[in-house]
């Protein structure tokens, strides 16, 4: 994605030749701590930011996702100008691709070198290198210091490991950083509270929920929203409720509100779902983190401070820290270690088309209707909705992994490929054959019933695998077990799942196969 200044702001140095270095700042690098800005000569060097249409269309992006990038970029460009930087900002509609804009800017500025913090996406890195090569100018790439674990450090840790697991990596990061540590041991003597953090809400539901801070669009953001609405009228998603933090100041406000109002209750029910509950006690900070409006160190420190002050329990604080210091750093390392193969991985050989209702929410499955509808409205769903509802169903429905990954990258405002691709291809779909997970995250509708109230108002019965009222998720889960019975029986964490098939008589198995064959052929109409 590119970055944008205020509508009327002129481009400084657009045609000046030989003005020094051209510093490329990408749409997910919106921080003054960007290493590419550290040694800049503000009198001679030029910062280039680009809103390229292709970044919104290479996947059919949610309009709120596009607006999030564009608004944040425009605000950051203004921040750079106010700090005395020369900024060449290319707006939506000027360039079809980033590479086109980069070549044009190189021709205009004739820089001695192009400088950039390493991009977060394999495709963008290749395009930037090719643009510089084609223009005959050197590219100087700087390591991304936003992350606590560099790509090189992760590669050294992962070297010679047949399989990668987050837990030992997370413990190593805790020990190295001292986060939630007392000397060389974890606080309270326990590393992980995951087993305590899987509770549902029960029949009474979540109870009163804290208000989620919203950030009313200012003039720059309103202009960005209007530009996105005009430029991408056919794209999915609503812009009506856009209230995301798109500045450093607003992102800090979102962080402060989370640790004060939602972190104390976050842990135990972080996996729970409830109709009409968009946020619950989740942080909503991933978009601001992924655009680098927030630094993970300050986010982790703010959470740990609440525990040290006795205002939040260790189950909640450790659960949140594990997401940021553990999982977020881990999947970024996995992404760069396993690309480009991860993007084409398809362990089970699935090839079906993504059901059309993933783009509309028009399905009789209550859990899917709720999750997809919320996603289209807000560009957001929490991690269990993504993993165990939309992701689980796509796995069971045998959808082509590349189509599923494109959907996730398109519809969530926090989606950047280094985070999205390992989570979807690797965790939700098991498309990489368990490179960093110990089992497929496959489940029946009974899991959704246990963790939400969606099934209470659904036309389907999560307890039934065959028959007119059978839950499609349950039916396809049992078909998944039948299709992979021998393989599942040989895996320690799935042997019990496979053993459940022994309860089925031969006639029941035949009914299951016949009915799920028909179900798979009418997925657009469930």
Closest among 281, 316, 280, 304 to 193, alpha carbons compared: 316
Residue (of 376, 480, 409, 384) closest to 61 by Cα position? 409
- The structure tokens 């249409």 sit at 53
- Are the C-beta atoms of 11 and 47 separated by less than 8 Å? no
Residue 76, H or E segment: helix 63-82
CATH numeric code, 151-214+244-338: 1.25.40.80
- β-partners of residue 115 are 23, 140
Encoded tokens for 242 = 């856009």
458 with 425: CB under 8 angstroms? no
Same fold for the domain at 22-142 and the one at 151-214+244-338?
A: no
Domain 22-142 class in CATH:
alpha beta
d(CA 432, CA 345) in angstroms, rounded, equals 5
User: Which distant-in-sequence residues (6+ apart) come within 8 Å of 134 by Cβ?
Assistant: 103
List b or e across 145-155, with b for residues whose CB sees 16 or more CB atoms inside 10 angstroms.
Answer: ebbbbbbebbe
Q: What is the pLDDT of residue 502?
A: 85
DSSP secondary structure of 407-436: HHHHH-TT--HHHHHIIIIIIIS-TTSSSS
The pTM is what? 0.94
Ramachandran quadrant class, 2 (left: phi over 0; alpha: psi -120 to 50; beta: rest): beta
Per-position DSSP letters for 438-496, written without gaps between them: SS-----HHHHHHH-SGGGG-SSBTT-SSSTTB-HHHHHHHHHHHHTHHHHHTSTTTHH
Provide the residue ranges of all domains of the chain, joining segments of one domain with +. 22-142, 151-214+244-338, 356-525
pLDDT of residue 18: 56
Could you give the CA distance from residue 391 to residue 405 in angstroms, rounded to a whole number?
Answer: 10
Is there a contact between 117 and 151 (Cβ–Cβ < 8 Å)? Answer: no
> How many Å separate Cα 436 from the centre of its chain?
17
Which pLDDT belongs to residue 256?
A: 97
Cis peptide bond upstream of 137, omega within 30: no
Measured between alpha carbons, how far is 277 from 283 in angstroms, rounded to an integer? 14
Closest CA relative to residue 48, chosen from 136, 133, 111, 140: 111
Q: How far is CA 351 from CA 153, 209, 404, in A?
A: 36, 41, 11
The Cα 445–Cα 450 span in angstroms is 9
Residues 6+ apart with CB under 8 A from 500: 481
The neighbour count for residue 486, using CB atoms within 10 Å, is 8
Rounded CA separation 123/326 (Å): 25
The domain made up of 356-525 is a member of CATH 3.30.2350.10: no
3-state secondary structure of 364: coil
Note down pLDDT in tens along the chain; length 526 residues. 433 333 333 333 444 445 699 999 999 999 999 999 998 999 999 999 999 999 999 999 999 999 999 999 999 999 999 999 999 999 999 999 999 999 999 999 999 999 999 999 999 999 999 999 999 999 999 999 999 999 999 999 999 888 899 999 999 999 999 999 999 999 999 999 988 888 899 888 999 999 888 999 999 999 999 999 999 999 999 999 999 999 999 999 999 999 999 999 999 999 999 999 999 999 999 999 999 999 999 999 999 999 999 999 999 999 999 999 999 999 999 999 999 999 999 999 999 999 999 999 999 999 999 999 999 999 999 999 999 999 999 999 999 999 999 999 999 999 999 999 999 999 999 999 999 999 999 999 999 999 999 999 899 999 999 999 999 999 999 999 999 999 999 988 899 888 988 889 999 999 999 999 999 999 999 9
């Amino acid at each position: 994605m590119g970055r944008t200044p205020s509508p009327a702001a002129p481009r400084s140095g657009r045609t000046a030749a030989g003005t020094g270095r051209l510093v490329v700042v990408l749409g997910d690098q919106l921080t003054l701590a960007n290493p590419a800005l550290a040694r800049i000569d503000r009198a001679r060097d030029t910062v280039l930011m680009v809103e390229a249409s292709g970044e919104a269309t290479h996947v059919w992006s949610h309009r709120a996702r596009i607006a999030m990038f564009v608004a944040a970029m425009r605000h950051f460009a203004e921040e750079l100008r106010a700090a005395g930087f020369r900024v060449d900002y290319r707006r939506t509609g000027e360039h079809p691709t980033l590479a086109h804009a980069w070549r044009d800017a190189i021709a205009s500025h004739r820089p001695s070198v192009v400088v950039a913090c390493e991009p977060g996406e394999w495709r963008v890195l290749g395009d930037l290198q090719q643009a510089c090569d084609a223009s005959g100018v050197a590219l100087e790439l700087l390591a991304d210091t936003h992350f606590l674990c560099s790509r090189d450090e992760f590669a050294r840790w992962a070297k010679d490991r047949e399989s990668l697991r987050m837990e030992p990596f997370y413990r190593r990061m805790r020990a190295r950083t001292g986060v939630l540590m007392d000397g060389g041991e974890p606080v309270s003597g326990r590393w992980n509270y995951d087993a305590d953090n899987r509770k549902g809400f029960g029949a009474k539901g979540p109870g009163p929920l804290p208000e989620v801070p919203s950030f009313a669009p200012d003039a720059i953001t309103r202009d960005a929203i209007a530009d996105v609405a005009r430029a991408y009228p056919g794209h999915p998603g609503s812009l009506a409720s856009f209230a995301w933090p798109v500045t450093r100041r607003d992102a800090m406000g979102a962080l402060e509100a989370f640790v004060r109002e939602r972190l104390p209750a976050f842990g135990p029910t972080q996996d729970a779902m409830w109709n009409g509950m968009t946020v619950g006690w989740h942080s909503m900070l991933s978009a601001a983190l992924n655009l680098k409006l927030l630094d993970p160190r300050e986010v982790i420190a703010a959470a740990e401070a609440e525990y040290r002050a006795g205002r939040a329990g260790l189950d909640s604080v450790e659960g949140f820290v594990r997401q940021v210091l553990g999982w977020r750093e881990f999947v970024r390392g996995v992404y760069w270690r396993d690309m480009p193969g991860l993007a084409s991985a398809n362990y089970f050989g699935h090839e079906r088309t993504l059901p059309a209702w993933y783009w509309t929410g028009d399905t009789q499955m209550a859990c899917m209707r709720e999750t997809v509808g919320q996603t289209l409205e807000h560009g957001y769903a929490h991690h269990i909705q993504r993993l165990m509802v939309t992701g689980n169903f796509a796995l069971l429905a045998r959808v082509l992994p590349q189509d599923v990954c494109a959907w996730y990258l398109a519809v969530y405002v926090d989606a950047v490929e280094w985070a999205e691709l390992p989570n979807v291809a690797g965790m939700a779909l098991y498309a990489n054959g368990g490179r960093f997970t110990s089992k497929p995250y496959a489940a029946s509708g009974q899991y959704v019933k246990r963790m939400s109230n969606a099934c209470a108002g659904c036309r389907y019965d999560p307890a039934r695998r065959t028959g007119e009222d059978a839950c499609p998720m349950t039916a396809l889960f049992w078909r998944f077990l039948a299709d992979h019975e021998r393989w599942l029986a040989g895996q320690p964490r799935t042997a019990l799942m496979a053993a459940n098939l022994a309860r089925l008589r031969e006639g029941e198995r035949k009914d299951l196969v016949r009915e799920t064959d028909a179900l798979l052929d009418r997925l657009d109409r469930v």
